[in-house]
C-alpha cells in the first residue's frame, strides 16, 4: 500500500475541523465505540453532517449519509476516524459509503481496531473511490488518546480530580465549600464527559454526594456511580443508594453478611465481589478490568485523600485535574489535608495551568 503523503487545502482542513468539533461534542457519550464526526461536501458546500449516536450506534458516516437531502454521487466525505468495514450490530460503514456513490473519502486517523485497521482504506480504493488519510492527524490523534488506550489496554481511561484550598485542605467541618461556582460548573462538565464516576464509601458517608451532572439540559448524561466498599458500610439512606437502579450504581465489595447483601440488592445495586490485599485494599487494576467489561470507557475519580494518593503513587491516572482555591480553610475544627501534592508533582511531570477564567480558582492539569 502506498505511503504517499497527500497535500490538503485550507478548505479540506476547515471541513475536517468541523468533523472534529462534531466528534468532540459526543466524547464520553458513545458507549464502547469511539466518538466520530463526519462532514459531507459537494461543490465546496456542506450538504450533510453526522456524529456517532449516543451509546455508539449508528455510526457517524451512516448518520451523515442518512441525513443528506441531496444526491451524494460525486460528493466528498471528511471523517475523523477510518470508517468501519466489519459486520457488528450494524452493517459496515464502507458498504453505505460505496452504495451512496460518494467519490472521495478523507479520514484523519487510521483505526487501531484490528478488524478495521487499513482494511477500509483498501476496500474503498478497490471500488474506485479516492481515499486520502492523515488530514489534521496529530491534532485528531490527540483527541483519540482515550480510545487508543481503551483498545490497547482493555481498560478505562482514568481521569482524577480533587479540590484543595490555598492551605491544601480538602475537607473542613466548619467550611464545607472549597471552590467557587465556576469550578463547580467545570466539575459537572467532567461528569458529563465521563461515563462513570468512582468514590469510596468514606466519601459517600461523609459528604452524601449526588455524583450527577447538574448542567441544565444535560442531566440525563450523568455518569454511572461506582463505589468501593469493602464491607458494605455505605449508608443505606444516602442519596446514591436511594436513587440507584439496576444500571446506574455498582458497588465493589469483599466481605459482608447475607442480610447486608440482600439489603443492597433490594435497592437495585449491582454488587461485584472483589479481592483485597492484606491491608484490606482493593487491587485497583483488577477493578478497572472489571469496569471495562461492564462497558466503562471513561472513568472520573473524585476520591478523598487515601484513594487519590494511592492512585497517584501507582500512576493509575491518565489525566488529573487539581482545583486550587485562593482562600484558606479553617483548621480550628475537624479537617483533612491533601498529602499527595509532592507525589503528584513527582509522578506526573507534564503540567498545564488551564486558563479557564474561573474567577481566581486555578486548575492545573497533570498528564
Of residues 61, 82, 219, 286, which has the active-site annotation? 61
Contact 261, 282 (CB under 8 A): no
Does residue 277 have a cis peptide bond before it, meaning omega lies within 30 degrees of 0?
Answer: no
Strand runs (DSSP E) across the chain, as ranges? 37-42, 45-51, 76-81, 104-109, 130-133, 157-164, 169-172, 196-200, 224-228, 249-253, 270-273, 298-301, 319-324, 335-337, 351-354, 362-366
Q: How far is CA 25 from its chain centroid?
A: 12
Single out the residue of 268, 260, 219 nearest to residue 242, CA to CA: 268
Strand runs (DSSP E) across 84-123, as ranges? 104-109
Residue 50 backbone phi and psi in degrees, to 5: -155, 155
Active site residue 61: yes
Measured CA distances, 149 to 84, 142, 158, 279, 335 (Å): 19, 11, 10, 30, 37
d(CA 333, CA 205) in angstroms, rounded, equals 19
Is 244 strand, coil or helix?
A: coil
d(CA 38, CA 50) in angstroms, rounded, equals 5
CB atoms within 10 A of CB 366: 19
Catalytic residue set: 61
Amino acid at each position: 500500500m502506498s505511503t504517499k503523503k497527500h497535500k490538503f487545502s485550507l478548505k479540506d482542513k476547515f471541513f475536517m475541523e468541523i468533523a472534529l468539533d462534531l466528534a468532540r461534542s459526543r466524547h464520553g457519550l458513545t458507549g464502547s465505540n469511539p466518538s466520530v464526526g463526519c462532514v459531507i461536501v459537494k461543490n465546496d458546500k456542506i450538504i450533510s453532517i453526522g456524529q456517532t449516536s449516543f451509546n455508539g450506534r449508528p455510526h457517524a458516516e451512516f448518520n451523515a449519509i442518512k441525513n443528506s437531502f441531496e444526491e451524494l454521487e460525486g460528493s466528498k466525505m471528511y471523517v475523523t476516524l477510518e470508517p468501519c468495514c466489519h459486520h457488528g450490530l450494524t452493517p459496515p460503514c464502507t458498504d453505505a459509503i460505496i452504495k451512496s456513490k460518494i467519490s472521495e473519502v478523507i479520514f484523519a486517523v487510521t483505526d487501531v481496531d484490528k478488524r478495521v485497521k487499513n482494511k477500509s482504506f483498501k476496500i474503498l480504493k478497490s471500488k474506485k473511490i479516492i481515499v486520502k488519510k492523515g488530514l489534521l492527524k496529530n491534532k485528531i490523534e490527540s483527541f483519540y488518546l482515550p480510545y487508543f488506550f481503551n483498545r490497547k489496554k482493555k481498560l478505562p481511561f482514568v481521569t482524577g480530580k480533587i479540590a484543595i484550598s490555598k492551605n491544601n485542605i480538602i475537607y473542613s467541618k466548619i467550611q464545607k465549600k472549597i471552590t467557587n461556582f465556576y469550578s463547580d460548573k467545570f466539575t459537572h462538565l467532567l461528569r458529563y464527559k465521563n461515563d462513570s464516576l468512582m468514590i469510596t464509601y468514606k466519601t459517600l458517608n461523609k459528604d452524601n454526594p449526588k455524583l450527577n451532572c447538574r448542567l441544565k439540559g444535560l442531566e440525563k448524561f450523568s455518569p454511572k456511580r461506582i463505589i468501593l466498599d469493602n464491607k458494605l458500610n455505605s449508608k443505606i439512606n444516602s442519596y446514591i443508594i436511594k436513587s440507584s437502579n439496576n444500571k446506574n450504581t455498582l458497588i465493589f465489595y469483599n466481605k459482608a453478611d447475607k442480610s447486608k447483601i440482600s439489603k443492597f440488592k433490594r435497592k437495585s445495586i449491582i454488587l461485584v465481589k472483589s479481592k483485597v490485599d492484606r491491608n484490606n485494599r482493593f487491587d485497583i487494576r483488577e477493578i478497572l478490568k472489571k469496569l471495562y467489561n461492564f462497558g466503562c470507557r471513561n472513568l472520573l475519580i473524585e476520591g478523598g485523600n487515601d484513594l487519590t494518593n494511592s492512585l497517584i503513587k501507582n500512576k493509575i491516572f491518565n489525566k488529573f485535574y487539581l482545583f486550587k482555591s485562593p482562600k484558606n480553610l479553617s483548621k480550628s475544627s475537624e479537617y483533612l489535608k491533601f498529602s499527595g501534592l509532592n507525589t503528584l508533582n513527582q509522578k506526573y511531570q507534564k503540567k498545564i495551568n488551564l486558563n479557564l477564567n474561573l474567577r481566581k480558582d486555578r486548575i492545573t492539569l497533570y498528564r
